[in-house]
Amino acid sequence: MYELMAWLEASALAEFLRGLGVWTYGLVNLVHILGIGTLLGSVLLLDLRLLGAWNSIPLPTIARPTVPLAATGFVLAVCSGVAMLSFNTTEYHGNPFLYIKLPTLVVALANVAIIQRLSAWRRGMAGNASQPGDRGVLAVAGAVSLLLWLTVVACGRMIGYW
Which residues of the shown chain bind ligand HEM in the complex (CB under 6 A)?
29, 32, 36, 39-40, 74, 77-78, 81-82, 84-85, 105, 149, 152-153, 156-157, 159-160
Query: Is 57 or 75 the residue whose CB approaches ligand HEM more closely?
Result: 75
Q: What CA–CA distance (Å, rounded) separates 69 from 141?
A: 19
Q: What CA–CA distance (Å, rounded) separates 160 from 39?
A: 21
Q: What CA–CA distance (Å, rounded) separates 135 from 79?
A: 35
Q: How far is the CB of 73 from ligand HEM (least distance, A)?
A: 8
Query: Is 97 or 139 the residue whose CB approaches ligand HEM more closely?
Result: 97
How far is C-alpha 35 from the chain's CA centre? 9
Query: Is 29 or 90 the residue whose CB approaches ligand HEM more closely?
Result: 29
Q: How far is the CB of 132 from ligand HEM (least distance, A)?
A: 34
Q: How far is the CB of 82 from ligand HEM (least distance, A)?
A: 5
Query: Is 105 or 115 the residue whose CB approaches ligand HEM more closely?
Result: 105
Query: Is 79 or 125 the residue whose CB approaches ligand HEM more closely?
Result: 79
Q: How far is the CB of 74 from ligand HEM (least distance, A)?
A: 6
Q: Which of 81, 100, 95 is nearest to 29 (CA)?
A: 81
How far is C-alpha 147 from the chain's CA centre? 11
Residue 132 burial by CB count (10 A; 0-12/13-18/19+): exposed, middle or buried?
exposed
Q: How far is the CB of 152 from ligand HEM (least distance, A)?
A: 4
Q: What is the CA radius of gyration of the chain?
A: 18
